Structure formats: structure tokens, C-alpha cells
Amino acid sequence: MATGGTPEAIARLVEQFNRLPGIGPKSAQRLAYHILRVGDEEAEALANAVLEVKRRIRLCSVCCYITEQDPCGYCTDDRRDQSLVCVVEQALDISAIERSGGYNGVYHVLHGVLNPMDGVGPEDLRFRELLARVQGGSVSEVIMATNPSLEGEATAMYAAKLLGPLGVRVTRLARGLPSGADLEYADDVTLLRALEGRQAV
């Protein structure tokens, strides 16, 4: 039954859009009415793309990266150093590191960071898979590439605590001033880290 004059199908679509992150009620309405206006083909393409991604994409059983084949391309690439594992918060971070062109190891995706304020504890992250991987014995170094935020740091420390007893080397990405930054705007913690990590010119 239609409510308040809006056809039910539209209301349902608005509601679904509204659930997406960053989409408020107004944007949801705009998107829904846009879909109404576009041709059948375009709408179908969108619907199929949504379905496909849910059907075909799963998590790699080794590194928890999103993949169509299990294990993923990174984990099966023998040109990569399989003993070097870079741990990231989310799958998107891998693209950022790949873009830098300076890394030739493999990855592990935690799918989040420790954030007890939002109820995310260690058991909600992919630490168990990481632990199993390191226990397997083929890993020589784990690079913690979580964000340099308080939560990211805590997650890195947690990983060090978890993996330390296994004798694997756990390292952390360096912290300091971003290129092109102004010293006068830097916060104390960043400056402190930059001083600690200074290097010979």
C-alpha cells in the first residue's frame, strides 16, 4: 500500500539508498528519482553490478583481501616476497601502497582498527588469520601500516604484543612530517616523532 502518496517501490529504494554511508534522506531521494529517470539498461547495469559484487567477491583465505579467486593475486604471485607481510586497516589502503611502487611484499587486511569507543575489539578484526599466518612460519617480518591515528597506533601495538612472542620482526611505518607541509602547523606529537626519526642528510 502506498504511504502518503509516494509509491511504495520508490519509498523502498529511497530507504535503501538512505542506508548507505554518507547518504542522507535528501540525497537518497535525489538518487532514487534519478534512477527513475534513467533508461532500463542503466538501472539494470547498476542492479547487476551490486549483485555481482556480492556474489563473486569474497575474502582471500590467506590475507583477507577482497578477491574473486581464493587465494588472491597477491598471495599467489611468486615474484612478491611472501615472507614480508604489510598489515593494513582496509582493502583500499593496499591500492595506496601499491601506488607508491616501493613495496614488493604481500598484505594482510584487518578490516578495521581497535576502536573500543565504537565497540570494535580485537576479536572483531582479522587478527586470528594473521596469527595463524605467522604461526605457519613462513613470515619473517610484519609491517604495521595502520593509520598514524591513536587507534591505528594502538592496533599496531596490539599486533606487536600478539606476534612478539612468536619471534617475528614487527615494524611500524615511520611517522613524521608529510611532504609539502608547514612546520609551524605541525602538532607536538608529529614533531616529536619526526625528531626521533631524523636521518642523516
Partner 1 sequence: MAREARTFRAEGIVLRRRNVGEADSIFVVFGPELGKFEGVARGIRKSRSRMRGHLEPLTFSRFLLARGRTLDVFTQAETIRSFPRIGGDLERWAAASYYAQLVDRFTGEDAPHPELFELLFVALEALNDGSDPGSVSRYVEIHMLALAGFELQVDACAACSARLSPEETLLAPGAGGLVCRQCRPGAGVGRLVSVPAIKVLRYAARASLPQFTGLHIPGEVAEELQQALAGVIRYHLDRELPTARLARELSPGSNDPATPGADTL
Residue 161 interacting with partner 1 (CB under 8 A): yes
CA 7 from chain centre, in angstroms, equals 38
Residue 92 interacting with partner 1 (CB under 8 A): no
- Judged by CB under 8 A, the number of residues near partner 1 is 36
DSSP 57-99: -EE-TTT--EESSSS-HHHH-TTSEEEEEEEESSHHHHHHHHH
Nearest-angstrom CA–CA distance, 144 and 109 = 11
| 3-state SS class at 195 | helix
Residue 20 interacting with partner 1 (CB under 8 A): no
DSSP 178: P
Shortest distance (Å) from residue 171 CB to partner 1? 16
Cβ(27)–Cβ(17) below 8 Å = yes
Measured from the CB atom, is 52 or 196 closer to partner 1?
196
| 3-state SS class at 3 | strand
Near partner 1 in 31-60, by CB under 8 A? none
Cβ(143)–Cβ(163) below 8 Å = no
**66 pairs with which residues across the strands?**
59
**Which range, of 11-19, 42-50, 59-67, 128-136, touches partner 1 by CB under 8 A?**
128-136
Residue of 7, 25, 73, 116 that binds partner 1 (CB under 8 A): 116
Measured from the CB atom, is 36 or 174 closer to partner 1?
174
Residue indicated by cell numbers 581464493: 70
Closest to 142 measured CA to CA, from 111, 100, 189, 110: 110
**Which string of x and - marks every residue 172-191 that binds partner 1 (by CB under 8 A)?**
------x-xxx--xxxxxx-
Shortest distance (Å) from residue 21 CB to partner 1? 8
Residue of 35, 59, 97, 131 that binds partner 1 (CB under 8 A): 131
Residue of 101, 119, 136, 167 that binds partner 1 (CB under 8 A): 119
DSSP 177: P
Near partner 1 in 136-155, by CB under 8 A? 149-151, 153-154
Contacts with partner 1 by CB under 8 A lie at 22, 114, 116-123, 125, 127-128, 131-132, 149-151, 153-154, 157-158, 161-162, 165, 178, 180-182, 185-190, 192
